[in-house]
Structure 1
Amino acid sequence: MIPISWYLILAAILFVIGAAGVLLRRNVLIVLMSLELMLNSVNINLLAFGYEMNDPRGQIMAIFIIAVTAAEVAIALGILVALLRNKRTLEVDDLTIMKG
């Protein structure tokens, strides 16, 4: 049996990589992939704690997060396609169309 600390270390590493991608990168696609890494690290934590406590609620929450993430990706990619058609770039600094 693998100890729970290994799962927590893996999730922490994935979260740090995702946070660094969100903060340091300027391409919108890379920022979205980094957000996905961060959400997957949360899923790993939920599954690890659910298994450790013998409680299925961790798995249920992980499934809900996966469903919400899939919807978020579909909407975000639709927005990105529209922005790419109008602006011809995916750099965060160049996309000021949403400023109010």
Structure 2
Amino acid sequence: MQSQIPDIFQIPLINYVLLASILFIIGIVGVLIRRNAIIIFMSVELMLNAVNLLLVAFSAYRSDPAGQVFVFFIMAVAAAEVAVGLAIIVMIYRNIRSIDVGLLDKLKW
């Protein structure tokens, strides 16, 4: 089935791959360098969205809706992860009055 969009307006697949790679690398750097728990969670979400972008791009490229179904489930899991993660961050802040992950040595045995 041919797309109704003229060829001049179609974005090449490599552009999506490059954008998703850049977003994923920014997410990895955010997780490894930052010490704020909220920034770390945002970086993890950025990495998940980079994967979602690739799944949708490849799904559209191959005209297969399976990638878009996976994106739906990934977004549902990410929403649950954010809810649980923010609840944990609130409890940590109530106990030690900071969300700096370097101060979480109280969790060691």
Identical pairs, percent = 51
Matched, 1:97 2:106: yes
Shift in Å at residue 95 of structure 1? 1.2
Matching residue within 77, 101, 107 for 1:68: 77
Which residue type is aligned with residue 47 of structure 2? M
The root-mean-square deviation of aligned C-alpha atoms, in Å, is 0.8
User: 12, 19, 40: which one pairs with 1:10?
Assistant: 19
- Which letter maps to 1:58? G
Alignment match, 2:34 = 25
Partners of 2:61 and 2:26 lie apart in 1 by 25
Higher CA-based Rg: 2
- Following TM superposition, where does structure 1 have runs of at least 4 consecutive aligned residues deviating by more than 4 angstroms? none
CA distance in 2, matches of 1:32, 1:17: 13
C-alpha deviation, 1:41, in angstroms:
0.3
Equivalences, count = 100
Residue 37 of structure 1 pairs with residue 53 of structure 2:
no
Question: Which blocks of at least 5 consecutive residues in structure 2 are unaligned?
Answer: 1-9
